[in-house]
Every structure is written in structure tokens, then in C-alpha cells.
Amino acid sequence: MNAWYQQTAPQQDVVLSTRIRLARNVASLPFGSRLSRDQREQLDTQVQQALETIHLGDNSLSFLRLDDMDPVERQALVEQHEISPDFAKNPDGRLLVLSQDGSISIMVNEEDHLRIQVLHSGLALKEAYELCNRLDDVLDSQLGFAFDRKLGYLTACPTNLGTGLRASVMLHLPGLQQQKMISRLADTVGKLGLTIRGTYGEGSGVVGAVYQLSNQITLGITEKDAMENLENVTAQIIQSEEQARKALAQNQTALEDKLWRSYGVLKNARLLSSEECQQTLSWVRMGVAMKLLPPIPYSTLNQLLLTTGSASVCKDEGQLLRPEDRDRVRAGYVRKVLQEN
């Protein structure tokens, strides 16, 4: 089965992925750090039993204990956006429910008892929400989530009160970044109840001109309204990015030189650092979208973007690698994938 990021979806020239995440807590258990070890294990068991009733066809669920994974395996899941950095850093007593294609990820005993997450390639808010809501309903019926008529779903952090919903899209914005318009964009979306962050969320840096746009408001708003607002703003950002790319194309010779040099590096390099790989992939993705480079499937570009981080390379090799060895293996992997497509 292909990974979630290899799906074909709308607006993939700008929108890499969609994520719906719900924060939930079980009413009968203490929140967060107040949970005892026995209560954590009790929650793990209850979650597994609840999910045995849901049918997902071939996309079966696995139950993975984080403290059975080594740090490299956990970090590889972060690089592929399937778990949060905090969840990976503190594995003790934490359970991960992961679907075969990685599109479903339920983090048990993160900041909240449950973080129910669904990922889709491209712009697919409705589809991601429908699956996430289905999982939410099954778990709520079995576990009983903490809910208040005035405040909505009760969460460990007040910023998640209400719907407990974080809807986000990963945007590839090289045009706006080159035009130095990201700061202005962040100010604009902030006034519309949204926030724009780095590649791996709050507090992270930006890799390869990839930004995360998500809703800020969870209280006093419905899930539908939050997602419609995000989708409308995303449509406007897509238009702005397309205009920024057209502006860059006014100096077409310089742009094509940069695009083809980047393509040449990926096709021929024998050593490729993580940073150089991400930057050149960013240029190549834009070049493919603008039809200035040979057509490479977005599924292939997504695969390279999400599986060439340092931890992912080491995981695939089955061992820790020195930096120079990682760069060699990464370069060979990129060449091989591009030759196959």
C-alpha cells in the first residue's frame, strides 16, 4: 500500500498536505501529568479495544509503544509528520496507533489523552475531517470524552478548548518567500483567525519554503466554520503564490538556470546534505508546477521531501550513519527514485 503522501489530490502544486487533528480527554481519568502509570496502561488498553470495532479495509491499524522504538525510528515519524516532536522526545508510557499508509495517527498520552490525526495529500479538508470524525465517534462511544456544554471539549491547554480541532495545510510558497512577502502574509492571516508556522509546527524553522497554515480559534466556532475559513484563505494564498511565481518568471533565463541547476544536482550529486536536498527539491517542485522542468509526479516529489531527512535515511539503512555516509546514501536514493520516474 502506498503511503498517504503518494496519493493524487487537488492543488498539489502549492498544497502538499492536509491535516485534521482532534484533542480529546477521557472524562473518567485525570488529565495529563496527573495520570498514574497504571491509568496510562488502562487508557492504552481501552483505546485498543475501542478501535477493534472500526473497519478500515486494507488500511489496518498497528499499536506501537514508543518506548520500544529507538530515537531514530521516532524521529523518522516526525519527519513524515506522523507524530509531533514532543511525542517523539518523551516516549515513556506513550502509545501510537498508526495505519498502514500512515494517514491515521492517534497519539495516546501526549499533552492530551488522545490526539487523533488524519493526513491527506493535497487540499482535502473534507475527506480528512470525515475520517477523523468517524474515529472520534467510535472512541467517544467507548471511552466517553470530557465535554462541557459551554466550553465544549475540555483539553489540557486552554487554547484547544471548544472543538479541540486543529485543521492545517502544508503550503509550498517559494514564490512568496523569494518576494519576501511571508511576514506580511502572517500578519494578514492572523487577523483572520489563522496562524502560519514553520515546517514542523510551532517553534520550528522553515525547510524548503514549506509552511504550515492552521486555525487558531477553537472556542465559539464550529468545526465547519473553522475549516471553511481555512479553505477560503488557502485559496487566496494559492492565487498569491501563483502571481509571485509569475513575477519571478519575468527574468526567465535566471529562473530557468536556477531550476535546471537544482534538477541537475538531484539527478547527479554523489553527496547530498539534508539542507541541500530540501532546497533543491523546493526549486524543482516549483519548476515542475510552472512546466519549466520535465514532468515529475507530485507523489514522487512528496516521497523525496518526506523520506530524505537524516533519521529517515538511517532508518532505511537499519543503522546510525555518519554525516558523510548519510549524504552519500541520500544522494544515491534520490538519483534512484528520479531515474525510476
pLDDT digits (tens, 9 = 90+) for 265-320: 999 999 999 999 999 999 999 999 999 999 999 999 999 999 999 999 999 999 99
Query: Whole-number mean pLDDT of the chain?
Result: 94
Q: Has 322 been labeled as part of a binding site?
A: no
Model confidence at 337, pLDDT cuts 50, 70, 90, reads very high
Q: Has 202 been labeled as part of a binding site?
A: yes
Q: What is the mean pLDDT of residues 198-216?
A: 84
Q: Has 41 been labeled as part of a binding site?
A: no
Q: Has 19 been labeled as part of a binding site?
A: yes
Query: How is residue 339 written as a grid cell?
Result: 531515474
Q: Has 65 been labeled as part of a binding site?
A: no
| Percent of the chain with pLDDT strictly greater than 70 | 99
Tens of pLDDT, residue by residue over 66-108, are 999 999 999 999 999 999 999 999 898 899 999 999 999 999 9
Q: Has 17 been labeled as part of a binding site?
A: yes
Model confidence at 198, pLDDT cuts 50, 70, 90, reads confident
Q: Has 81 been labeled as part of a binding site?
A: yes
Q: Has 195 been labeled as part of a binding site?
A: no
Predicted confidence at residue 202, as pLDDT, reads: 66
Q: Has 168 been labeled as part of a binding site?
A: yes
Single pTM value for the model: 0.94
Predicted confidence at residue 316, as pLDDT, reads: 94
Q: Has 115 been labeled as part of a binding site?
A: yes
